[in-house]
Amino acid sequence: MSDSPEKRNEWRAILYVQARVAVLFVPILLSLLIIGFLAGNDRDPGAIDRTVTSSVK
């Protein structure tokens, strides 16, 4: 396996692009997790399901 500078620069460029994509997705994933946590916190088994009209229990 040769450690040529060209190969090293290619790998560095690939990793740089992957890091930038990851930085873009981290805030999106964090916000989705927070929304999911806040929305899924109020589970009441006796509550009326307002999402289905004329729901039968």
Spatial distance between the Cα atoms of 5 and 51, rounded to a whole number of angstroms: 60
pLDDT value at residue 19: 95
**Average pLDDT of each block of 10 consecutive residues along the chain (57 residues)?**
79 94 93 88 64 61
pLDDT at residue number 38: 85
- DSSP, res 43: -
Task: Say what the pLDDT of residue 40 is.
Answer: 75
Specify the pTM.
Answer: 0.46
Which phi-psi region, left, alpha or beta, contains residue 54 (left: φ > 0; alpha: ψ -120 to 50)? Answer: left
d(C-alpha 57, C-alpha 46), whole Å: 10
